[in-house]
Structure 1
């Protein structure tokens, strides 16, 4: 099992019903700019230079499920790449949550483009989708298309976690960097879902906000008689939120 898969498997036993990963999965392609010559970097369709990876995110939880590093000149509508990413994304979901999945792919995932009309590819394994209220109306598809825009939030979060710039000239090292950045984004997503669901200013916090308020904690760690004590200033505005999050996450299973 890959490191990414281990993170997913660890979270499986801790999933509350409100955070069930089964449901909507969104795929999207994004551009990563390279500021120097790197292995695989190429000109992009937006006249930039870098990489053009497609990725998939679970809309229910906001976690990254899969991402494929590609050269900047790779096509947005390459079917084989979309199928590969989608297959890897579904494989990340626990088997029990694969019974009802709805996949949304931006219009770039199609092989033909029609000017002037927003469109997307939507696929599902829900057998009785006709029983969903409103699903037989054209407006139902419009709602799915508009809500698909939330995947941009996950792309932005991923770039805030390290995807904005790949550090190495080596293709292999940059593939590992993408994996590490997506793991970091997943950890941030599950920290909010499991540890901060009832904290209005942190439940949907951006990575920079989460980093400033919780991860960069102004505390002192002291060791005495083989015991470690974390001293948090009483004046820190988010001290209670940190302690509550710690208490909720501490019982979760560890990766062995």
Structure 2
């Protein structure tokens, strides 16, 4: 009988006391956190949540938690991966210390929310300044505004936690409502502005929830989006939602804030007969594909003169999109001439229907940002307390943003890593192993010469060094 060789080399395993570092690549994120002046900003905004003489300050606690979630941890106990490698990650707080910190945030949720929001606003300002002309704020104009996507998701709970409830899919848990910025297909992934935790039975089309998450989101934008009196200058902002955001109350709120909107709109069955001229394409324009090219089987038209909109903000237009049913799609009574009709409302100053339609359909990218948010902590809410879980969701958003901000401010716009999701970051960069060496009273972290992403690691480290040199010594504003 022939004995086949093993798939992999068969090696004996032994343990050593050498300073071997797993996940040494996450040092990129820890250096980035320090370069932003994170510790000082946290002390200023959240210092009340730790005792005056405490060894572990808010900056240390939040920074280590965010780093752990960005690296793939899911529970507070996963901090032990860093706790055993103090030479790279510093002294890590015990699980009990972290638990007491969350107890204090749960007892003062409004104070923590305000501190965390103002902290994130300052961090975002510094990152966007570092990104220069590539930042969303620098590119924003009324014709090409910053796009804020609002969307809800579901998070299952496998135990009876505070304010959990059954959801419309038959599950049990929470229904967080998120707001995120879309960087667009040419600039990167995007970042989280707000994550509002809600019970699982929260209504999808609740206008008050839309207003709350929108207000929380825009309050974390840099100063350039506000007038000198502190009111929002919304002309460079576009809010994009599914049909749950099409309520008149919410759209009027956006109108009064001066913001643009692009929201899906369910065509009422009673008005379906108004689009029975679908077969006559002389009034329609070809829709655009993801690359901006004309499609031959999908069309768009401004139907404001055909479908009357009542009590909507002035300047609101309705656009229809017609395309053949996708394979496997179930026909409905509203499908005209074998075409599926969808609609969206917008008050955009741009009038070319195909462009507005393509921009609205880009809303699907927010699902990727929500997936990343779940992969950086939102997917497993660990506490019984609802307010503690809201604080965890806020830190999860910070962890997600650290990856996005690192991409935005340290990676060249043309590099493929600018568009990686967090799982690819973990495998290609964070999983890089290292070793600590000490020579001449200097400690050095050695990484493999043959690391696949060696050049990218060098590029990011150089950009982080430059970012740290630009920060004010006080690191406070």
TM-score (norm 2): 0.48
Partner of 2:293: none
Deviations 1:85-115 (Å, cap 9, x if unpaired)?
A: 1111111111314551111111122348547
1:164-175 matches, cutoff 5 A: 164-175=379-390
Q: Within 2, Cα distance between the matches of 1:121 and 1:75?
A: 21
Deviations 1:157-200 (Å, cap 9, x if unpaired)?
A: 11111111211111122111101110011000011122223564
Query: What displacement does 1:55 show?
Result: 0.8
Deviations 1:120-153 (Å, cap 9, x if unpaired)?
A: 55466xxxx2xxxxx3243343212211111111
Contact 1:199 1:241 survives alignment (8 Å): no
Q: 1:143 to 1:96 in 2, by over 3 A?
A: same
Partner of 1:82: 210
Query: What displacement does 1:5 show?
Result: 2.9
Could you tell me which runs of 5 or more consecutive residues in structure 2 were left unpaired when the two chains were aligned: 1-114, 141-145, 184-188, 226-232, 248-264, 269-333, 335-340
* Structure of higher RCO (CA pairs closer than 8 Å, 6+ residues apart): 2
Asked if 1:68 corresponds to 2:196, the answer is yes
Of 236-245 and 111-120, deviating more is 111-120
Partner of 2:131: 15
Query: What displacement does 1:41 show?
Result: 0.8
Contact 2:128 2:135 survives alignment (8 Å): no
Partner of 2:238: 102
Aligned length: 247
Of residues 154, 162, 180, the one that matches 1:31 is 154
What SS does the aligned partner of 2:417 have?
A: coil
Contact 2:167 2:201 survives alignment (8 Å): yes
Partner of 1:231: 446
Q: Which has the larger radius of gyration?
A: 2
Query: What displacement does 1:18 show?
Result: 1.8
Q: 1:122 to 1:252 in 2, by over 3 A?
A: farther
Query: What displacement does 1:39 show?
Result: 0.8
Q: Within 2, Cα distance between the matches of 1:123 and 1:181?
A: 33
Of residues 202, 209, 216, the one that matches 2:431 is 216
Partner of 2:281: none
Contact 1:4 1:179 survives alignment (8 Å): no
Query: What displacement does 1:156 show?
Result: 1.0
Contact 2:166 2:200 survives alignment (8 Å): yes
Partner of 1:40: 163
TM-score (norm 1): 0.87
- Superposition RMSD on alpha carbons, in Å? 2.3
Contact 2:128 2:136 survives alignment (8 Å): no
Of residues 433, 447, 467, the one that matches 1:252 is 467
1:91-130 matches, cutoff 5 A: 91-97=219-225, 98=233, 99-111=235-247, 113-114=266-267, 117-120=341-344, 122=346, 129=349
Of 57-66 and 137-146, deviating more is 137-146
Q: Within 2, Cα distance between the matches of 1:167 and 1:121?
A: 39
Q: 1:7 to 1:119 in 2, by over 3 A?
A: farther
Query: What displacement does 1:225 show?
Result: 4.1
Could you tell me which runs of 5 or more consecutive residues in structure 1 were left unpaired when the two chains were aligned: 130-134
